Structure 1
Amino acid sequence: MSGLILNGRYDLHTHTQASDGMNAPADNVRLAKQKGLAGIAITDHDTVSGIREAMEAGKLIGLDVIPGVEISTRAAGKDIHILGYYLRYEDETLCSRLEHLRTVRETRNERILAKLNELGIPITMDEVISGLGRELGPDDSIGRPHIADVLVRRGVVADLREAFDKYLAEGAAAYISLPRVGPMEAITWIKEAGGAAVIAHPGLYEDDDLVRRIIREGQPAGIEVYHSDHGPEEEMRYSGMAREYGLLMTGGSDYHGVRQGQVFHGDLGSRTVSADVLEQLRSRSGRQ
């Protein structure tokens, strides 16, 4: 398959400044090259705005960049993320759908800040945006990690983990959930944009019955078996599930960069897959 280093490794889950990562897309590409990877996927939350920069950087230094996205969905009272690979990232219908999701995310952010204000922590969106240290792009996405940064800087919490555990994680004091697209619809969006859909980090949902239902009804191409928050037990369980349903076993670090001195979720390249997985992903997309 052209462009692939057959003996190389690929990290299929990385985030950039286009959503809640710390690095510019080109910086993720350069870091991957330094670490000896053959390629990475750019999978920002509900936006594809970082892909073009990353792909141009990849061409310059000889690193494969797989266009991707991570779509935020809701099912059975849980946040479920669906990854898409090799999709037509400039497809007008896809971009319009993602823009709507970012609008929902913006509303959620404002309500989280309102909740924090009710709890005696007066944070504004202007403060969150100013903390980025850069201009916010029109298709960029603000997320909870950006709000967590402010909580740490203000000394409200000691670190990002405490920010999520105390205020921002599901069930925490300032957590807000709004109606969102369902995972099956997100899978359909990815397929309609010519991509291959994958269920992200299933171990985080703590509901394998739900994961199985998404597999049966949505018919994704794969499941993310290897993830920074999966231990050996989860890897064994989801590799078995992948074999049971004939799914590809994908993996990635979920790298967001370094925040407050911590790598969140995992370091780039800490979870990888072989080029064979890339070939199979592409063959199951509409981009053969």
Structure 2
Amino acid sequence: MAANIDMHTHSTASDGVNSPALNIRLAAEKGMGGLAVTDHDTVSGVSEALCEADNYSNFICIPGIEISTLANGQDIHVLGYFIDHENAEFLSKLEQLRTVRNKRNEKIVKNLQKLGFSITMEEVAAKKKSSSGNIGRPHIAEVLMEKGIISSLREAFEKYLGKGKAAYAVTERISPAEAIKIIFDAGGVPVLAHPGLYDQDELIPMLKEQGLAGLEVYHSDHSAEQEAHYRHLAERYQLIPTGGSDYHGIRNGTVFHGELGNRYSDLKTVERLKSFSKKYR
């Protein structure tokens, strides 16, 4: 079996372009060994992905989540792997998190309106690829591109949607430590996503004390120097180093974050993560 397992992917269940099943098919066609379904604050795409994965021998589909949190005024994302995606209490908590996410989106759109841009939440919602999917910043970027305000997803985030940019907004959210507990309670394994995007390395030992199991060392937006740095920190704090593309699909000819499978974990890493899971022990 191929060893490359992409541990960070998004689908139409949140702000990805492809259906969960299509992501599985694309990964299998690439000869990958598997992938984790890690949509933002939802597990609604997991069942479809697991069903599709059954069509491929020796292909691993990991039920996961990427939970949005807030620390020191900044969005911090926590990945959860081997989640019990049918846990009723877990699903209820995710519904509350999505309400907060929607408020954040509304604030961003209002900020863009204050900048003089004609954009509405209705236009943004129309960009969802699935009626049950979450709205995210890539959907807002799509509208901006369609209106000719910017020419690419990268430009949208560099000018308006990224941290500290003209239309950026945050809302009150749970802390990373609370996300770790939510993931634990659902039988999962918590991993800090793309730490190189935060400039808050002091969070790592603090979250380790709260039960953090892994660190996303290999990510599409990490430089080689950052990957070496976080590999060292993973060793220092005895965290499992993981890798994922953060694949969202192709919008207007551009791959957001990275191509499927361009960062990955090997089977040994996946087995280490699985050994921490209550549900899959």
**Same-fold status (TM-score > 0.5):** yes
Matches within 5 A, 1:267-278: 267-278=259-270
CA distance in structure 1 between the partners assigned to 2:150 and 2:137 by the alignment: 14
What residue number does 2:162 align with? Answer: 169
Correspondence for 2:71 among 64, 70, 75:
75
Count residues with an aligned counterpart: 279
Contact 1:87 1:194 in 2 (8 A): yes
What runs of 5+ residues in structure 2 fail to find an aligned partner? none
What residue number does 1:182 align with? Answer: 175
CA distance in structure 1 between the partners assigned to 2:202 and 2:40 by the alignment: 25
Identity %: 51
The answer to whether the aligner puts 1:131 opposite 2:127 as a matched pair is yes
Give deviations 1:67-119, integer Å, cap 9, x for gaps.
00000000112211000000101111111111111001111111211221122
CA distance in structure 2 between the partners assigned to 1:226 and 1:283 by the alignment: 21
Q: Which amino acid aligns with 1:51?
A: V
What residue number does 2:5 align with? Answer: 10
Contact 1:129 1:136 in 2 (8 A): no
CA distance in structure 1 between the partners assigned to 2:262 and 2:135 by the alignment: 25
TM-score by length of 2: 0.96
Contact 2:74 2:170 in 1 (8 A): no
What residue number does 1:88 align with? Answer: 84
What runs of 5+ residues in structure 1 fail to find an aligned partner? none
- Judged with a 3 Å threshold, the aligned counterparts in structure 2 of structure 1 residues 17 and 135 are, in CA distance, closer, same or farther, namely closer
Q: Secondary structure at the match of 1:60?
A: coil
CA distance in structure 2 between the partners assigned to 1:235 and 1:115 by the alignment: 34
Contact 2:12 2:130 in 1 (8 A): no
Q: Which amino acid aligns with 2:35?
A: I
Question: Could you list the runs of 4 or more consecutive aligned residues of structure 1 that deviate by over 3 angstroms after TM superposition?
Answer: none
Matches within 5 A, 1:1-288: 5=1, 7-62=2-57, 63-132=59-128, 134-137=129-132, 140-216=133-209, 218-286=210-278, 287-288=280-281
Aligned-pair distance for 1:135? 4.5
Aligned-pair distance for 1:244? 1.4
CA distance in structure 2 between the partners assigned to 1:225 and 1:142 by the alignment: 27
Q: Secondary structure at the match of 1:116?
A: helix
Q: Secondary structure at the match of 1:87?
A: coil
